Amino acid sequence: MDQLLYGIKALNPSQVIMFLTGGVLIYLAIKKEYEPMLLLPIGFGAILANIPYSSAISHDGFLALLFKAGILTELFPVLIFIAVGAMIDFTPLLQQPFMLFFGAAAQFGIFFTMAMAALFGFDLKEAASIGIIGAADGPTSIYVATKFARHLLAPISVAAYSYMSLVPIIQPPVIRLLTTPAERRIHMRPEFNIKISKTVQILFPIVITIIAGIIAPISVALVGSLMFGNLIRVSGVLDRLSKAAQNELANLVTLLLGITIGSTMTAEQFLNPATLLIIAMGLVAFIFDTAGGVIFAKILNLFLKNKINPMVGAAGISAFPMSARVIQKMAQQEDPSNFVLMQAVGANVAGQLGSIIAGGLILTLVK
């Protein structure tokens, strides 16, 4: 009889709270459709990890093995980047390379949050891992947190993916606070008549990898995998591989990544004040990313003849393509004849690059 009851006897209230937490994530995934591909596996992984004596996370449990093989080795984030690279069309960015600068400015939230985390008593590596939530890029957050603060991996991943799905709620109030209706109505000159040659499309991922690698060699795994995926896409001769990266690889690794991250959400690691602080600071990171992009655009407008709609600056965060859609929706709310979608997509794609560079620089600068 004891053998039948030993699981029940070992159950404690904190594990029940974690079941509920997992349940909330599953609810958000199914009912609200917030990043369901990740929040659902994370939620279920959390439940699996908190069942007393769970064989899934025991020494040779399948989730423990996946954690060692996919997270500790940084293999999953890198594979996800290959898939993401195969999905991204850089053409809007190549047509208007000026948008690159918004992808840089909108990384400000990372560094601001890092400083805030330091003020709250986190050490430098923990603060850097928390700040990188502002990359608005799950794989980059996981990559940096794995290297710097493995014990904070669960709350950082959950915060990163949750806030990415909440971009339509987080960004609009920040943008409205920082811009006037007149600024939000600014029409931007379209620059989409520029045709990009196949040669440029093929050279782009190669050259970017070399430049980023020389500036921050530690970022080569991140940038290189993203650009490898993109090279497969634009080469025109690897259509099957490109489709496999976009579909099978992306789906399989996302599935394993989500449930493995969820398995790190054990009650003893997750239920503490630090988790709440990390979740709160993730929000700060997204707010200051948005503010960084908008304020940068407003500063540029002081010098430019053809004004930029400052909302486009907010699309410089890496949450692709959600942020670009949010900006277009807001622009049309102010003026139904205003189309800034392609400019916002350009800034949004630049945000992908900016976030990876930021991740690489953090890994380089934090000792």
Nearer to another protein, 38 or 135 (CB): 135
Cβ-Cβ contacts under 8 Å for 240 (sequence gap 6 or more): none
Question: What is the dihedral angle through the alpha carbons of 266, 222, 99, 301, rounded to the nearest 10 degrees?
Answer: 60
- Shortest spacing between CB 312 and another protein, in angstroms: 16
Toward another protein, which CB reaches closer, 126 or 183?
126
> Cβ closer to another protein: 231 or 249?
231
* Residue 146: partners with Cβ closer than 8 Å, 6 or more residues away: 71, 72, 74, 77, 153
- Specify the residue, 41 or 316, whose C-beta has the smaller distance to another protein: 316
For another protein, which is the closer residue by CB, 11 or 215? 215
d(CA 23, CA 194): 49
- 8 Å CB contact between 316 and 105: yes
Q: Using the structure block, give the residue that is written with the tokens 């915060």.
A: 159
Q: Which residue has the tokens 């709620």?
A: 169
Look-up: residue for tokens 């139904």?
Answer: 336
Distance CA 178, CA 299 (A): 12
Q: Smallest distance from the beta carbon of 82 to another protein, in angstroms? A: 20
How far is residue 262 CA from its own chain's centroid?
Answer: 17
If you search the block for the tokens 């195969």, which residue do you land on? 86
Q: For binding to another protein (CB under 8 A), which residues are involved?
A: 93-94, 97-98, 100-101, 103-104, 107-108, 110-112, 114-115, 117-119, 122-124, 127-128, 131, 194-200, 203-204, 207-208, 211-212, 215-216, 350, 353-354, 357-358, 361-362, 364-366
In the chain, the amino acid numbered 97 is: P
Rounded CA-CA distance 281/297 in Å is 24
**Shortest distance in whole angstroms from residue 73 CB to another protein:** 26
Q: How far is the CB of 350 from another protein (least distance, A)?
A: 8
Q: How far is the CB of 145 from another protein (least distance, A)?
A: 16
Residue among 47 and 117 whose Cβ is closer to another protein = 117
Of residues 284 and 358, the one with the C-beta less far from another protein:
358
Q: How many CB atoms lie within 10 A of CB 278?
A: 25
Our CB check for another protein shows the closer of 112 and 161 to be 112
| Smallest separation, CB 356 to another protein (Å) | 10
CB of 335 to another protein, least distance (A): 29
Residue 126 Cβ vs another protein, minimum distance, rounded to whole Å: 9
Whether 179 contacts 310, CB under 8 Å: yes
Rg over alpha carbons for the chain, rounded to the nearest Å, is 21
Q: At what angle are helices 153-165 and 273-301 packed, to 10 degrees?
A: 50
